[in-house]
Chain A
Amino acid sequence: MLDMRYRNIGISIFVLTALAARCLAAQTTDVIGALIDAAAPGSTITVPAGVYQGHLRITKGVVLDGHGAVTIDGGGEGTVVELLAPNTTLRGFTISGSGAGVDREPAGIRAETGPVVIEDNVVDDVLFGIDLRTAPDSIVRNNLVTSKHLEAGRRGDGIRLWWSHNCTIEDNSVHRSRDMVFWYSEGLHIRGNHVTDSRYGLHFMYSHDTTLEHNTLDGNSVGIYLMYSNRITVQDNVLVRNRGASGYGLGLKDCDDIVVRNNAMLANRVGIYIDNSPSSVDSNGLVEHNAVQYNEIGFLATPNTHNNDLTENAFIENEQQVAVHGKGDLAQNHFARDGRGNFWSDYAGFDLQGDGIGDLPYESRNLFESLLATDPNLRIFVNSPAQQAVEFAGRALPQLQPNPSFTDPSPLVQRPVSLAAGTSSRFNAAMGFVSLILLCVAGAGLWLGAERGLRRKEALS
C-alpha cells in the first residue's frame, strides 16, 4: 500500500519534472528512464513531447509511445535505444545520432530479446537502423530508416535480424542504408517494405522458410539476394533499377526449393540471377508468372545450375533475354512446364493451331551474345550497326552460328495478362511543345529554300 502511494507520488513528480524539463533545452533520456522505472510491467507510458539527449536502455516490458512527437538524440555516440526486456513496445519515436564506428555496430534501435514491437518510428542518421539480436516473434512495422552519409559498404544495415525466428517485418521504408539483412532467422514474414538507394535491398543468409511479398526494391545495388536459404517464396515484389556492379533484381545462391512468382523485374542490370540453385540434388526451383523487362540480361545463370522450371514468365525487351554466366549451357533447366513455356518479345515463330503455343521452339543463337560471354567488354558496342552486322553474320552463315544455350520448346505467343502494372499513356504537353518547335524550325528552313527556288523559277520564266 505504502509502496503504491509512493509510486504514484513518484510518477506525479516525474511527470511534472518531465513537463518542466520540456521547457528547458538540456533534457536527457534519464527522464524517460525514470518514467519506465516508475511504471508497472506491461503498462503504457506516453512520453511527453520533446527532444531528449542521451541513450535509453529499456529493461522492463512496457509500451513506450512517443505519438510521433518525441525525439531521442544519441549525440553521435553508441546505440541510442536498447530493448532488453521481452514484451516491450517502442512506438512513435524519432531516433537519431548513433555512433559511427563499426567496431561496436552502434544502432538506432537494438533489441536483444523478444518478442518486441518496434513500429511507427523514424530512425535517422544512425549507422545500423533497427537491429534485432535473438529477438524472436517480434514485429518491426512502418518504420522509416535512413543511415548516415557514408559510402554504401561503410554504412550499417537498415534493418538486421540475427537469430530471430518468426518475426514480421512489414511496411518499413529504408533509404540510403547498407542492407536489410536476415541472418539465421526462420519463418519470417516480410511484406510491403520499400528499400531504396541501398546496397542489397533484402538479403538472406542461412534463413529458411520465409515469405517475401509486395516489397519494392528500387535503385539499390542488388534488389533481393538470397544465399544459402531454403524454402523461400518470393512473390508480388517489384524490383526496379537495381544497377550496382552486379546489379541483380533477384539473386539466388545455393538456395533450395525457392518459388519466384508474380514479381516484376524492371531495368535492372540482370533481372534474375541464379548461381547453383537448387544446390541439393532432389530439390527444385520454380520461376513463374514474372515480368522481366528492360534489363540488360533478363535471366542469367551459372552453367552448373539445374532443376529450375521457368514457366509463363514474360521476357520483354531485355537487351539479352537469357545468358549463361561462363562457359556452358542451361540444358539442365526446364523452360516450359506442362507444355507451357514463356513469352519472349523477340520470338519470331508462329502458331498455326491457334492454341497460344508457338509451333517453333524459342532458342537464342545470337552470335553477338555468345561473343559477349567470351568478353564482357564488348558490351560497349551494343545499340550500334556493328552489333547488327555481327548478329546478321551469325544468322546468315551457319558455320558462325553458336549452339543455343537453352531451348523453350513451347513459347507463349500471347503475353500472360496477369502481370501488367498499369500503363501511363497520358498526354505529354512538354513533348507537344518540343514537337511544335522542331516542326516550326524545320518548316522555316524548308520554306527558306523553297521560296528562293520559287523566285528562281520566276526569274527563269
Chain B
Amino acid sequence: MSATATVSTPTGLAPSVPTAILAIARRELRDALSSKWFAMFTIAFAGLAIALSFLSLAGAGSSGFAGFGRTTAGLLNLIMLLVPLLALTAGAGSIAGERERGTLLYLLAQPISRSEVVIGKFLGLSGAICASLLLGFGLSACVLTWRAGGVGVGAFVALVALTCLLAMSMLAIGLLISVRSRKTSVATGLALCVWLALVFLSDLGLMAGTILFKLRVQEVFALAVLNPLQAFKMGVIMQMNASLDVLGPAGMYASRTFGDHLAWMLPGVVGVWGAMAMVIAMVLFARRVSV
C-alpha cells in the first residue's frame, strides 16, 4: 500500500468528525484498490464465481430444478474460504502497516481521534472489499440472467448482502489484530491463524467433540452457530430454503425451535462478531500509549 498519501482536508480548519472519517476512508479505499493483492483477489473471485454459475446452470439442466446440490454448495465454500482470508489479512495489514512504515505517527498528528482513524479505515476497506465482491457477484448474476429462469432473485440478493456482512465482520477482526501488532508480518500471520481457526479448526474440533462426547442436538447447534462462518452459511441456507432442514437433525431442531427468527438471528451472530471486534479495536487503540 502506498504510504505517501496525506489526508486532504480543507486547509486551516479542523475537520468535522464525518469529514475526517470520510477522508481516511477515501484514502484507504484508494490504497486498497491500487494494491496488486487486491486486484488478484477481485479477478480470482469474479472468475470462480462466473465459472460456478456456469456449472450450476449445467447441473440444473434437468427439470430446471435448482436444488441445493453440490455445485451450489461450491459457491458457499468458495466464499467461506476466500472472503475471510482477504478481509482478515486486509484488516490486519492496514494499521500495522502504517505503524511499521512510520506513517501512522503522521496520521495521528492530524487533528483527529484514534477511533476516527479505525472507523475510517474500516469504512474504506469495507468499500473496497464490497466493491470487489459486488463485481464478482454482478458478473455471476449476468451469467444467471442469461439462462436461469428458476433462480430466485431474493435468495441471490440475500447471499450478496450476507457475504458483504461477513466480509465486514472479518475486516473488523482483522483491524483488531492490526491495532495490537507492531509489524505487518506478525499481523498477517495472526490473521492467517484466525482464518485457519474459523474456517477449519473450530469446526473440525467441534466435529470430534460431537462424536467423542455424544453431544446433544441443541449443544451441537449452539456451539456450531457461535462460529461466524457457520452462522453465515446457515443464514444463506435459511434464505434459500426458508428452513435449515438440509442440515440434518441439528438444523431441524433449530428450525423447529426458532422458526423464522433464524432469518435475523443468524446474520445477527455475524454482525455481533464484527461489532464486538470493532469496539474492542477502538478501545485498545485509544488506550495505547505509543502509536
Residues of A within 8 A of B (CB): 240, 243, 245, 247, 264, 266-267, 269, 291, 293-296, 316-319, 345-346, 371-372, 374-386, 388-390, 419-432, 434-439, 441-446, 448-450, 452-453, 456, 460
Contacts and interface: CB of A to CB of B under 8 A. Distances in A.
B139 A431 contact: no
A450 B211 CA distance: 52
B203 A243 contact: no
B63 A296 contact: no
Contact of A431 (B130, B132, B148): B148
Contacts of A420: 61-63
Interface in B256-287: none
B168 interface: no
Interface of B: 4-5, 26-27, 29-30, 32-34, 57, 59, 61-65, 67-71, 73, 76-77, 80-81, 127-128, 130-135, 137-139, 141-142, 144-151, 153, 156-157, 160, 199-200, 203-204, 206-207, 210-211, 214-215, 217, 220-221, 224, 229-230, 233, 237, 245-252
16 contacts: A243-B245, A266-B67, A294-B65, A371-B207, A377-B249, A380-B221, A425-B57, A436-B138, A438-B135, A438-B160, A442-B131, A444-B131, A446-B135, A448-B127, A449-B32, A450-B30
B32 A377 contact: no
B210 A377 contact: yes
Given A372-B248, A379-B249, 16 more contacts: A240-B65, A294-B69, A316-B62, A319-B68, A371-B211, A381-B207, A383-B68, A383-B77, A421-B63, A424-B149, A431-B144, A432-B142, A438-B138, A442-B132, A445-B134, A460-B4
Nearest to A415: B62
A317 B70 contact: yes
Nearest to B225: A380
Nearest to A294: B67
Contacts of A240: 65
Contact of A377 (B4, B34, B250): B250
A291 B63 CA distance: 10
Q: Which has the most chain B C-beta neighbours within 10 Å: A267, A422, A432, A449?
A: A449
A428 B145 contact: yes
A380 B33 contact: no
A429 B145 CA distance: 6
A434 B150 contact: no
A428 B154 CA distance: 13
Contacts of B81: 385
A261 to B, nearest CB: 17
Contacts of B139: 435, 439
A346 B65 CA distance: 18
Contact of A434 (B73, B149, B153, B199): B153
A381 B4 CA distance: 46
Contacts of A346: 70
Contacts of A427: 145-147, 149
Nearest to B69: A317
B64 A424 contact: yes
Contact of A375 (B26, B77, B210, B224): B210
Contacts of A383: 68, 73, 76-77, 233, 237
Contacts of B76: 383-384
A431 B69 contact: no
